[in-house]
Amino acid sequence: MAASNLAPGLTRKVKKILEIKTEGQDVISALSTLSSFYEENSQTARRSLRSTIEKRGLSIHEQFLISAEAAIQSLDTVQTHLEGLTASYQHITSVLSATKLATSPLLIEMERLERDLEGVEHKGRCIHDFLEQYQLAPEEISALQGEEVGPLFFSALARVRQIHENCRSLLRTHHQRAGLELMDMMATYQETVYERLCRWVQGECRSIGEYDAPEVGNTLQAAVCSLRERPVLFKYCAEEVATARHNALFQRFITALTRGGPGGMPRPIEIHAHDPKRYINDMLAWVHQALAGEREFIVTLFGEDKGSTTTESYNIEHLSMRSAADNSQQVHEDGIGSYVLLDRIFESICRPLKVRIEQVLMTSPPLLLCFQLAQLHSFYLGLVSRAVGPGAQLAAVLRSCRDMASRVFFEQLRSRGDKLIRSPPIPPVDLSPPPQVAETMHQLLEIISAYESAMESNPLPPGHPAQDAAAESEISPVLAAVLDPLMDACERGAEALKPDAPSRVDEVAKIDPSAHRIYLINCIVAILNGLPARKRSMISRAQLLSDMLEGHLSALVGSEVGRVLAKCGLSEILDRIRLYKPFLNSQQATPSQSSQDHSAADGLPSSDVALSIERISEAMRNFFVLVSSPDTLPEFFQIQAPRTRAEGVSRVARYLYESFEFLYSVVDDPTSGYLEHGGTTSIKNTPMQVRTILGVV
């Protein structure tokens, strides 16, 4: 009711006031500002609030105008300055336009000169590049013409070769004349430099020719490498080096033989000439040492041969000889090879070395020493062949000396064998091997020991097929040369022990028929015991001797068995029984249906008077009585090897038992016809009893 009494305008104001959001930031800020100058909250103050606020705003605007007046004055000053700058700019622009019109011909001329300068600089660079590729620098010319050979010299020489190669590209263009002139100039430089380099290398090599193991400097290596570009000069230089080393090596070898080293140490080699093995070994050792030094010098200086190897087989007989085509190809490629140079260098000592070795061998050294010298030559021949090639003269000299030592060795073996065959040893009374067997086997063992010692230096591992083949090929002729005459002499000596021999050892004494077999068995066993059969190279010879031993032992056992069977009468019976053996076999295959068949009965062993059951039983009884006697069976006491003697006794007992058992089985065979006459009932002893008596296992 009270609200409706308010005036409409007041109502709007009240509503507007009520709608004001007092928590707004603007309201809070306005009230805060109002509180700064609204000090008294009275009715008068509230009524004049509007005018107070307006006065406050007017005061603020007046302050703003006072402050802005200074800024306006500053802007007026800036405007004045800008107008002055604009006037100056217009003046400068007019001056520049006038100047540009005046200097335009100069700018055009400057651009033309810049283009000309670029062209001149390009030509200068082209000339510089041309001189770099086709001309030598003054310092390079000085290095080539100077006396010193060093890095600058080789660098300049490389530049000459490079320029010479670069000139070839000019020949493919329209600058052919310039290319030919430059190539001619560089060729002149090269020829002069290479000739000077060749003389320098020769001088350097002559200066180091007197040293045993000269050192090759980097400069000398580079010089020789550069000379390879001229094969003729390189070959000439290499030949000069080889000649210098050839003469120096000869002098050093003679000095080592006669005067020894500096101050007498090491002592002269010829001071040991009374000891052939040491004398030859010292010479070959010196040669090998010199060869190692010379090879190192040559390989370092001239390079290694293509295709050369240091792992060749020790067996020189299997070394392949280089063909003449290979040598010519090697010389064509490298001018001259290291094998050829080393061959020429060591050619100087071939003759004095060969003469001294042959002098030693012509004195006919002892047998073992000859073999040791042959092995020594084979060892050094392998070393030399791997260093200078198997076709070198030094290798040929060592091969010739080795062959001569082997020839002297086998001649001595042959002489001893012939002497042994001409005068065979007389068998001792106890049929033991003669002393010649032990002496010969002792010599053979010494030879084999020397060979095994030589094989220890073989680069191939033990058991290698190549090593085994080489050992067999080298030791087999020695075994044949030693053992064949020995066995022949033993057999000739054993002939005097045969009962029917034209001359006997003792005309009065009764000779055992088996004596010659026992004697040969003892000799063969002694040889086998002395032969190292564990070596593969000895297996074939040991097998041959074992076969001979088996043959003699079988013959000895057979003769003793025949003697026992003949004494009791079984020998003839067994021989006749064996004549009926085919018939008995056929009867077993197709037995007769009628025992009364006379045609069959006529072919039976029982129908033979010599094979009657009474005679067989009597012979078998005599056999049992004979083998029951302890002195009947042979004991072979004269066989010295216990195992062989036991084997012979065992075979005799077994063969006797088998003979008795065979005859007993024939009598017990229904097809033999003996069952009608009582069969085995007429035989008192059985095969088992005989086996027990003989001790057959």
In a domain, 29, yes or no: no
Is residue 324 domain-shared with residue 336, that is, in the same domain? yes
- What mean pLDDT do residues 189-204 have? 76
Domain match, 281 and 358 both: yes
- Domain residue limits at 169: 138-196
Domain membership flag for residue 34: no
**Token duo for residue 638:** 């004269």
pLDDT band at residue 599 under the 50/70/90 scheme: very low
Same domain, 305 and 352: yes
pLDDT tens, residue by residue, 280-308: 999 999 999 988 888 888 887 777 765 44
Instruction: Show the DSSP H helices in 531-641 as ranges.
Output: 539-568, 570-579, 581-589, 598-601, 613-628
Return the percentage of the chain with pLDDT > 90, whole number.
Answer: 16
Question: In the structure, what pLDDT confidence band is assigned to residue 178 with cuts at 50, 70 and 90?
Answer: low
Q: Are residues 293 and 160 in the same domain?
A: no
pLDDT at residue 356 tops 70:
yes
Co-location of 273 and 151 in the same domain? no
244 and 386 share one domain = yes
The larger pLDDT score, comparing residue 93 to residue 327, is at 93
pLDDT band at 467 (very low <50, low <70, confident <90, very high): low
Tell me: pLDDT of 464 over 60: no
Query: Looking at residues 687-694, what average pLDDT do you find?
Result: 88
> What does the pLDDT average to over 110-127?
84
pLDDT of amino acid 597: 39
| pLDDT digit string, tens, across residues 247-273 | 888 988 998 888 887 777 788 888 888
> Long-range CB contacts (< 8 A, 24+ apart) of 397-401?
397/350, 397/353, 397/354, 398/284, 399/316, 400/354, 401/354, 401/357, 401/358, 401/361, 401/377
506 part of a folded domain: yes
- Mark whether 517 and 369 lie in a shared domain: no
Give residue-wise pLDDT tens across range 24-51: 677 777 777 777 776 677 777 767 777 8
Is 16 inside any structural domain?
Answer: no
User: pTM of the entire structure?
Assistant: 0.65
Q: Are residues 306 and 355 in the same domain?
A: yes
Residue 351 maps to a domain: yes
Do 96 and 163 belong to one domain?
Answer: no
Q: Tell whether the model's pLDDT for residue 95 goes beyond 80.
A: yes
Give 515-546 pLDDT, tens digit per residue. Answer: 889 999 999 999 988 887 556 667 888 889 89
pLDDT at 184 exceeding the cut of 80: no
Token digits of residue 585: 């076999």
**170 and 119 together in one domain:** no
Residues 256 and 360 grouped into a single domain = yes
Q: How confident is the model at residue 485 (pLDDT cuts 50, 70, 90)?
A: very high
SS (H, E, C) 111-127: HHHHHHHHHHHHHHHHH
Count: domains in the chain: 5
* Closest residue by Cα to residue 154 from 238, 227, 234, 230: 227
Residue 22, in any domain of the structure:
no
Mean pLDDT across 454-467:
56
- Whether 418 is in a domain gets the answer no
pLDDT at 324: 32
What tokens were used for 618? 């009597």
Per-residue model confidence as pLDDT tens digits over 367-417: 889 999 999 999 999 889 888 888 889 999 999 999 999 999 999 999 999
Tell me: pLDDT of 562 over 70: yes
**pLDDT for 130-146, tens place per residue?**
666 666 767 777 667 66
Q: Based on the domain organization, do 347 and 440 belong to the same domain?
A: no
- Residue 535's pLDDT is 65
The mean pLDDT value for 576-594 works out to 57
Across all residues in the chain, what is the average pLDDT? 78
Q: Which of 500, 491, 581 is nearest to 527 (CA)?
A: 491
Quickly list DSSP for 254-301: HHHHHT-SGGG-SPPGGGGTTSHHHHHHHHHHHHHHHHHHHHHHHHHH
Residue 650 falls within a domain, yes or no?
yes
Of 52-61, 489-498, 682-691, the least confident? 52-61
